[in-house]
Amino acid sequence: MTQTTPASGRGAFTRRRLQVGFTVAVLALAGAAAVLASRPKAEPDKAAPPLQFKGAEVTRPLLVPMPQRVEFSGPLVAPQTAIVKAKAVGTLLALDTAEGRRVKAGQLLGRIDLADLNSRVEDRAASVESAQAMLAEALRLHESNLRLSEQNFISPNALQSSQAKLDAARAQLRSMQAQLSSMRIGLREAALVAPIAGIVGKRHVVPGEKLSAEQPVLTLVDLTTLELVGTVSTHAVSLLAVGQPVTVGVEGRAEPVAGRIDRIAPQAEAGTRAIAVVVTIANADERLRAGQYAQAQVLIDDPTPRLTVPVAALSQASGQDQVWTIEHGALVRRIVITGRRDDAGGRIEVLKGLAPEADLLALRFENLKEGAQARFEGAPGPVAPAAAGAGQAQQRSRAKS
């Protein structure tokens, strides 16, 4: 009879446990494979639907002229502005006009107490009378000496002396007369008279105030002709010439007014690259006022048709201008080089990178991908500038759908 040792019994037990574990693992793997095999296979990914664009959202380049516009702005000024100043020292007795009143050239505007100036005029007049008396006496004496000289009663030296006194008296009279004339001119100029016809812009003094020489009293403004002084860049000034018509928009006025270029500065202002341009504006009805802000626009005709696209069709990526076209049912990004820009007409010139017959998106859309399928309804057409704003609300949803 054979006897089993404890060590051999434990080995057999261990082998039986490994066999059972292996069998369970095989059955588990088989079950998992059966479960996976029983699941339905996943359907392949469906292709993304093509982007749909309306006919108004797709356009083609147009060959149109691109007139250039040179714009500059500034306040309106009245070149015919006169400041009435006191020409003599005195007290202002009266001022017969007020701000906003219209005056005529030569009209008396006020009165100054000129007692001191009048007394000096009278003093000069008396000096003239004294010089006339001295001249008469010198003339009588010289005529007497002439008769005596003919009779050899006086020496030639005495005759020459009387002639010299006569000449001095004549010179003294002329001097006194000149001084009197100057004083009378000063008296006449001391009157407060309007030098031009216009409107009183400002009163600088009030009656009763002591005036000094050259002190401003009134400012008169002639509004029949106004000027707009603006500056343009050095590269744009070559497009301008004296006499060119100018369209001027004035704040507070719905309709623009006509003007013309009157003067162009011969050199740029110090420290800038800007040159002054002066535009004259006829204002016979005086509806415009000095100080109103105005913007001038000079239109330079362009005789050459240029390839243009809507400004709204242009976008930028990595510092380059680009447009999106639809070619063979797919989106294509085209890098373009642009030229002139017409903001008023909403178009920009394309110098390079776009074919004249290309179908391009007339508005900016976000998240577009090159190569994406795209279609549009109808025929491409022009887009009004107002459509750009209306299309922006649909851009994000259209691009992300």
Percent of the chain with pLDDT over 70: 83
Tell me the per-residue pLDDT of 209-222, one tens digit each, with 9 for 90 and over: 999 989 999 999 99
**Of 13-22, 65-74, 230-239, minimum mean pLDDT range:** 13-22
Type of residue numbered 91 = T
Q: Kindly tell me if the per-residue pLDDT of 224 is higher than 90.
A: yes
**What is the number of helices (H) and of strands (E) in the chain?**
4, 25
Residues paired with 273 in a beta bridge: none
Confidence of residue 387 (pLDDT cuts 50, 70, 90): very low
Q: CA geometry: angle at 298 spanning 384 and 79, to 5°?
A: 135
Residue 27, pLDDT score: 61
Residue 54, pLDDT score: 86
Q: Kindly tell me if the per-residue pLDDT of 286 is higher than 80.
A: yes
Q: Residue 337: helix, strand or coil by DSSP? A: strand
Residue 29, pLDDT score: 64
Per DSSP bridges, beta strands 90-95 and 210-211 are antiparallel
Q: Domains in the chain, please, with CATH?
A: 53-65+304-400 (2.40.420.20), 71-78+222-300 (2.40.30.170), 90-112+191-220 (2.40.50.100), 115-189 (1.10.287)
Token pair for 12: 């057999």
Tell me the per-residue pLDDT of 179-189, one tens digit each, with 9 for 90 and over: 989 888 888 88
| CA distances for 384 relative to 54, 64, 69, 362, angstroms | 14, 15, 20, 10
> Which residues have CB under 8 Å from 401's CB, separation 6+?
51
Residue 397, pLDDT score: 40
Q: Kindly tell me if the per-residue pLDDT of 197 is higher than 70.
A: yes
| Integer Cα distance of 141 and 103 in angstroms | 57
Q: Kindly tell me if the per-residue pLDDT of 390 is higher than 90.
A: no
Half-sphere CA count of 354, side-chain side, radius 13 A: 34
Residue 172, pLDDT score: 92
Q: Kindly tell me if the per-residue pLDDT of 291 is higher than 60.
A: yes
Percent of the chain with pLDDT over 90: 53
Residues paired with 274 in a beta bridge: 233
Q: Residue 80: helix, strand or coil by DSSP? A: coil
What is the phi-psi region of residue 291: left when phi exceeds 0, alpha when psi lies from -120 to 50, beta otherwise?
A: left
Residue 132 host element (H or E): helix 115-150
The more confident residue out of 6 and 313 is: 313
Indicate the pTM of the whole model.
Answer: 0.61
Residue 391, pLDDT score: 41
| CA distances for 252 relative to 77, 114, 274, 288, angstroms | 16, 46, 27, 10
> Which residue's structure tokens are 């998240």?
367
Which of 226, 221, 265 has its CA nearest to residue 246? 226
Residue 340, pLDDT score: 87
| CA distances for 324 relative to 137, 283, 334, 366, angstroms | 109, 50, 6, 11
Please give the mean pLDDT across all residues of the chain. 84
Residue 42, pLDDT score: 43
